[in-house]
Structures are given as C-alpha cells and as structure tokens.
Structure 1
C-alpha cells in the first residue's frame, strides 16, 4: 500500500531478499572448488499487490526458491560416460596384466622356450649318442615346463585377484546404496517441509556418480525428491530401502563369480563400470588359461606319442617324455542324483581329442556323452554303477553314492584342465631319450629324434603349429589391448568434454559471483536508503504540530 508503513515493509522485503541472495552468493564462492558442488541461485518473485484508493500498489519482493543451476540430461550423460570410462580403464588394466604374463620381449617367454626345446631335439638328432646334447634337451624341456607352470600360476593368481577385487567392489556398491537411501530419506524430509535440499542433492549426485563408476546404473526420481537406482534392470535402491548385491561362486566355474541381486544373476545384464571391466578381464584370463592349457596338453600328447615309439640308449622304449595328462571331472551343482565320478584316466593317447566332454543322464539308467566343442554325441549307453564309461581315449567311472543319477544330471570331463600348471618332464636320465626309431639302430639312429624335432613345424593344433598357436594367443591379446587403449582414450576425451560442459552450466565462476555480489550489495544499500528515507519522513510528520 502507499502508506509510509507500506513503503517501510517494501524496503524491509528488499533488504531480506537481497540478504538471502548475498548468502547464496557467498555459499557459491565458498564452494567454488568443492568437488560435485552445483551453483545455486535465488529465484525472486513480486509479492501480490494490494488495492488502495482504487489503485493497485506493490508490496515488495519475496524469495520464491533457492535452486540449483542444474541440467539433469547432462548429469545422466556424464554418469553414463563415467561408467563406460571405468569399464575401458579396468579392462585395459587386466589386458596389460595378461601381456606381462605372456610377453616374449625379454626372450624368456613361451615362444622362445618352445623353439629352444625343439631345436635341442634337432641337436640330439644331429648327434644321437652324445650325452651333452641329450642333457641339454632335458634341461630345455624342464625350462619349457617351468615356463608353462609359471604362466599358469600367474594366470590363476591374477584371476583370484580379480575375484577379490569384485568382492570389494560389491561391498562398496552396497555401502553406496545404503548412503544413497539415507540421503533419499533426508531430502524428502527437507523438501516436504517446503525447503530446498540443494546441498543434500549434490552429495547424493556425488554418490551416484561414484556408483556409476563401479557399475552402470539407471536412476529415476519420484515427486518427493527420492531416487530409485537399478542395476541390470533390478533395483538396489528404492526410496529409503535397499537390496543387497552378493557374490555367489559357481561350482562349475570357480573362476567367474555369480553376481546376485534380488534372487537373480545379473552378470549378463551389467554393461558398464569397473565391475564390467573385471568380468571382461576374467573372460580374457580364462580364455588365455584355456588356450595355454590346450597348448601344453598338445605338446605333452604329441611328444609323448612320438617318444614312446623310439628307443633310448639303454634300449628302453614306450616311455613318456612328459608326465601323462590328468583327467578332471566335475559334477554339475544342479545335479539332483547322488552319483559321483570316482576316477578318470587317459586310456588311448592317440585317440585323445583334447576336447571337453559332458556326460548327460536322461534318467537313472541311460546316458549320452557329448563333445562340448562340437556338440556331437560321441557315446551313449546303459548306466551301471561302478562300470567304466569309455570314449575318445578317455575312461571314467561313475558310481552311486547316496543314490543313482537322475535325469538332467551332468558331469564335465576334461583332459586339458590344469595341463600347463602340472606339466613336468617325466624322464630324468638323458640316456632314456628315445632318439632311435629301432632297437637295432642304437646308438647312431636319429629317426625318432628327427620326428620329435619335426613336431615343431607340424600342424598339431587344428591346422596350426605350436608356435603359430601361441602367436595367435599373443596376437589376439595385443589386438584386444590396443582396442582397449583406443576406447579408453576416446572415452576419456568424451568424458572430459561432458564434464567441461556440465561445469559451464553448473560450476561456480568467481568472476560472475563477484559481479553479482557487487550488484546485490548496491541493491541492499538502496533498500537501506529507502528505509532511512521513510524514517526521516516519519520524523517530519511527528514534528508537525
């Protein structure tokens, strides 16, 4: 209204509004370097006018809200970009670890050891009766075995390390989920009372970005300011409640952890974050481990087959050069029957395919043996507890324990599992190296030593040589590592651009805040001047007689 008291009240609202605005500006300046802080601004609105003497007069200004200068789309983009960046970074770290295990740059890798072993076999062929060449061949064989052992040990150690990292990250994810749910409760409580919870929202956004670095997430916000967070389509935060992400080992695949959320496995639904990089790292380690085991088993098989056909200087024959391959069998964790594999062995090395097999029961009395590499049924028959089941150079015995096997029960059989870790030289006496193809050709015959040396260039693993197969492992690894570096660099640049764009909108500019502070100071001084003027006008009226 147009009375002096009305003017006084208008000036008072101006003082209060500008004081609050200065408070917000000061808060911005104080947090200019605070990570995750979003610039705030005061939203002013005109107060409702009043009718006085047939005219409408203003009643001042009010602070409608203190809001964050915030673009939700930018935040979502940055969160997704951070998730992808963490994935590529973690994947690259695991590939670098693999390269350090399998590199041949220092001349001490498998490729060098393979060449040395087969070259020493050629040296024995050149001088079959010489003790020195024979001793060198055994020495190079031991070094080759040790190199395989070392590679397998490091692969297993790194796999265990990745699994440990995943367990720690799962604990971190659960901890972040609890904290986000806590902020949900605080934010809704504050905002339902009509106050903006800007700083609490900033803190929650920091946690959400940290969570997105661990695993890709989807976030939705309800009408009271609470967010729901989903991982792989399954919720982990719903308002102020949380679900627990757990790690459940798979008995059939101890190297790959099962990530369980709300009763379901979500491994295949995780697409980003360092957790995805860890799962990809495990896949790379497992692939390298399987291929190194296959290479080791192939060397053992081919060398032993050829060596057994020859004769040593002492007339011995039929001897294994390397220790025989072991047979591993595992029952599926989903089996409902009570049968178990009690033994397994290689019975015909020449018939061995080095593929993995699965014995599948259609009922208590019948089974099929399926080659897992070709998906072909290689054997079938009627089951009898304790009877030998033979196929492709392998024999296993399955016997009832608590009860007979049931339909759907499965048993995996492998002759390559742990081959690299267990590889060792069976011979200890150089004279027993079977260089001669016949007993009558001793000591000068070298035909069998030549045949062993020729294995180096033979197509022994599919259509490749030992060296070509190993080089394919190293080449594939190098290509994957290069792709990971390229992806990381590109994603890093993209993430930096998004962060810079977000900072342009939501970040604090000291220069802008300083200018705004001067403007607000002048407005505050002007409002104070109005109060002073009204006070003088009132004094004038009071002095009238």
Structure 2
C-alpha cells in the first residue's frame, strides 16, 4: 500500500540497515587483532514489491542476516595439518633436551671416559705396582660407572618430565572438550531465537577446535543445529551435543608410574585406553618420545654397561692382585646387582677394589707383581668387537647409537619445519578470506555513513511533506 507513511517506513528500514552496517563494520574493526575472528558482513535483501493502482511499488530493504567470511573446507585442512604440526613439534621439543646428555661439549661423555679408563690401563700395564697408577685406574673406572649412571638417570628424568607434560596436555584437552560442549548448547539456543546467526560463537568454537586438533587425533563434523560432534582415537565419542567425554590419565600398573591416556565416553562402562591409538597431535609426539625413543636409548646404555662389565669381569676374575691379593683370584671388577636389565643404573665398582687398589688384578700368576698379562687382555677390549653380536667395539657402538639419535633429531626438526610451513601457508589463505582489512573496513564505514545520511534525508523529506499535507487542513 502506497502513501507517505509507506515511504516513511522505507526510509526507516533503510536507516536501520545502514546503522546495522555501521555496527558490523565497527565490530570488525574492534576484533581486527582477535585470534580466530572471521570478518562479518551484512547481507541486505530487497522486500517484495506491492501493487498500488496498477503499479508495482518497491518496499525498501531489510537485513536478511549477518554472516562470517569463512571457508569450512579450508578450516578442515588447517586442523588436519595442525595435528601433524602438534605431533612433530612436541616430538622435536621433547627430543631436544636429550641432546645435552650426549653433547660432545661435555668433558665427561661416555666416549671420553672410556678413553681415559683404557689409557689408565695402559699406564697400569707399564707400572703394575705403582700406587698412583692403580689409583688412577680406580678413579677412571669410577668415572666411567658414573657416566653410565648419569646417562641412565638423565634419560629417566626427561621421561618423567614428559610424563608430567602428558598429564598437563590431557588436562587441557579435557577443558577444551567441556568448553566446546558448552558452546554447542549456546549455539543451539541462539539458533532457535529470531536471529539464527551465531558467527561469534562459531568463531570461538572453531578456535577451540584448532587448539584441540593440535593436541590430539580427532575427527569432527557439525550436526543438528550447528552443534559439533567430536570423535577421538578408536572412535571414542568426545563431544556429543552438550555432553563432553571424560578425558583423563591413569597410572599404569607396572610400577613405572607412567600415565596412560583413557577416555570414558558414556557409551562404554570401562575406560578406553587410547595411549597408543592416538597417532597425531602433541600427545602423540610426547608419547612417542616417552614410550619409544627414551626406552630405546636406555636399553642401549644398559646393554653397553652390561657387556662392558661382563667382559671386564671375565678377564679380571682370572688374575691376581698385589700384596694381600697376590695369591687370590676370582674377583669382579664391576658389579651389576640382581636386575641385569637395569645394568646402567646398578653398575658399581666391586667392593674390594673400592677398599683397596691392591685388589685390581693384573697378573696371570700368583706372587708375580710384575706380570701384566691380564691387564693387557683388558686393554684389548678397547678394540675387540664385543657389542651388537660381535659387530662393533664399545666406542663404535656408542658412536652408532648416539649418531642414530642425532639423525632422528635432525629429521624431527625437518619434519617440524615442513609442517610449520604448510600450516603457515594455510593460515595465510584463511587470513586472506576471513581476516579484517582496515582499509576495506574504513571504506565500508564511509559507505554506510553515506547511506545513513541519505536515509535520514528521506525521513526528513517525508516529515516536511506531511507538514505540508497538515497545513492544507488549516
């Protein structure tokens, strides 16, 4: 229906649309530096025209909705690469401190201690009765023992630190799941009101999903009412509508005090252990180093300590010492304790050698202090291939497993850099689509301001025309 009041309504609707445009532009500018914010835009639509006296007359404009500039497929790609980046970053960052345990800059590396020990044995071969030489052998042997034990304790300390970090990551994941579930309810509530657009809530949830995917291996999709459903390792249901699963750690029952990651999703009566099933994300990287890299390094150290002690003992037991020990044999140089699997942690100097250097056996015959046959056999261990089923010497074995760790560390850093580059490229594409351009928003502000001024002019014009009509009655 036409008339001045119809035109006044058209102007009022135009004024509202312009004001909404200014509000949205201001909202974009205010959140230009907000992480995860997607630029919003006002979508206008013309109203259906009405017929008046045989003529179709326009009914102005209305705000159809306010939507965000968002590419859901690109968001999926970012979250997929986030899982790889989280894993490679956590793996590299967890392995990097291990490098210091074997650093060549240390004066007491295993390689150096082995050299010093065998050099002192060489001196003992030349001067088998000298107290200072025997003392040097004992001290260098003790330093070698300390080196085995230092590597063992340092690796275990790093493993315990990673174990604590795993507990922290699980706590963060649990918090994120709860927040995502809360936002599901907020999104559903908002979508049932007159205004179904919840761009800001979706942005918040997307940001949480990016954080979540960097931590664990998950799949997700948006279901009914825009609520997100999140599934974790082994198809565990982590978020369903407003219900988050319990994501926790459980101490293993093997006495190691290490954490297993478990999920109680409500669908099962027993916790689901997902420690090994989780293949990507920060948790996966931490678990790989804790459960595979460090145990392998510990076993190399144990094998080396065990073999070295056994080889030395087998020779030393056949020899004779000096003074009170010149007629006795059968003594060990080192002891490994009852648990041979933990040789590096338990290796010690034999008690007799700790008490007296006279117990160090160098002679093959009793009452022959100048006989150096047995110490020469000990010296041959330096070049003898006793490690890796007779494939390498002690020094070669140490260099091989430390070098292998170094190559693994370099590969981990390269993978991290590659994942980081890919993620940055995808994030740059997202920023190009969803980011706020201050120049563009300034232009939009001028545009909406001009529209608002023009709409105001329509209203003031109609007001003047109404005054004219009222004057006709007078």
SS at match of 2:262: strand
Q: TM-score, normalised by structure 1?
A: 0.81
Corresponding residue for 1:318? 330
| Distance in 2, Cα, partners of 1:253 & 1:192 | 53
| Distance in 2, Cα, partners of 1:149 & 1:498 | 47
Gaps of 5+ in 2: 265-270
| Distance in 1, Cα, partners of 2:295 & 2:212 | 27
Corresponding residue for 2:423? 495
Corresponding residue for 1:86? 86
Corresponding residue for 1:230? 231
Greater shift in the superposed pair: 100-109 or 238-247: 100-109
Q: Deviations over 1:98-142 (max 9, x none)?
A: 111122322211111111112222221222222222111111000
User: Is 2:208 the partner of 1:200?
Assistant: no
2:385 aligned to which of 459, 467, 487: 459
| Distance in 2, Cα, partners of 1:129 & 1:467 | 28
The Cα shift of 1:216 comes to 2.7
2:276 aligned to which of 268, 271, 294: 268
| Distance in 2, Cα, partners of 1:269 & 1:52 | 70
The Cα shift of 1:178 comes to 0.7
Corresponding residue for 2:366? 439
The Cα shift of 1:13 comes to 1.0
| Distance in 2, Cα, partners of 1:49 & 1:15 | 19
2:260 aligned to which of 258, 261, 269: 258
* Residue correspondence of structure 1 range 211-360 to structure 2 within 5 A: 211-232=212-233, 233-252=235-254, 254=256, 256-262=258-264, 263-282=271-290, 283-313=292-322, 314-315=325-326, 316-327=328-339
| Distance in 2, Cα, partners of 1:430 & 1:231 | 62
SS at match of 2:105: coil
| Distance in 2, Cα, partners of 1:155 & 1:268 | 21
| Distance in 2, Cα, partners of 1:124 & 1:300 | 19
The structure with more helix, counted as a fraction of residues? 2
Decide whether the 8 Å contact of 1:227 with 1:239 is kept in 2. Answer: yes
SS at match of 2:261: strand
The Cα shift of 1:253 comes to 7.3
Q: Deviations over 1:313-357 (max 9, x none)?
A: 222211010014423xxxxxxxxxxxxxxxxxxxxxxxxxxxxxx
The Cα shift of 1:255 comes to 6.5
Corresponding residue for 1:531? 459
Decide whether the 8 Å contact of 1:104 with 1:111 is kept in 2. Answer: no
Gaps of 5+ in 1: 328-414
Corresponding residue for 2:268? none
Q: TM-score, normalised by structure 2?
A: 0.93
| Distance in 2, Cα, partners of 1:434 & 1:177 | 66
SS at match of 2:256: strand
SS at match of 2:386: coil
| Distance in 2, Cα, partners of 1:15 & 1:91 | 57
The structure with more strand, counted as a fraction of residues? 1
Corresponding residue for 1:374? none
The Cα shift of 1:514 comes to 0.6
Decide whether the 8 Å contact of 2:336 with 2:348 is kept in 1. Answer: no
| Distance in 1, Cα, partners of 2:23 & 2:412 | 48
| Distance in 2, Cα, partners of 1:514 & 1:93 | 43
2:450 aligned to which of 507, 511, 522: 522
| Distance in 2, Cα, partners of 1:126 & 1:53 | 126
User: Is 2:434 the partner of 1:506?
Assistant: yes
Equivalent residue pairs, number? 456
RMSD of aligned alpha carbons: 1.6
The Cα shift of 1:17 comes to 1.0
Corresponding residue for 1:361? none
Corresponding residue for 1:186? 186
SS at match of 1:456: coil
| Distance in 2, Cα, partners of 1:109 & 1:93 | 22
Decide whether the 8 Å contact of 1:104 with 1:110 is kept in 2. Answer: no
Corresponding residue for 2:376? 450
| Distance in 1, Cα, partners of 2:153 & 2:245 | 37
| Distance in 2, Cα, partners of 1:128 & 1:121 | 9
Q: Deviations over 1:231-275 (max 9, x none)?
A: 213121111001112222333472753211133221222222221
Decide whether the 8 Å contact of 2:78 with 2:423 is kept in 1. Answer: yes
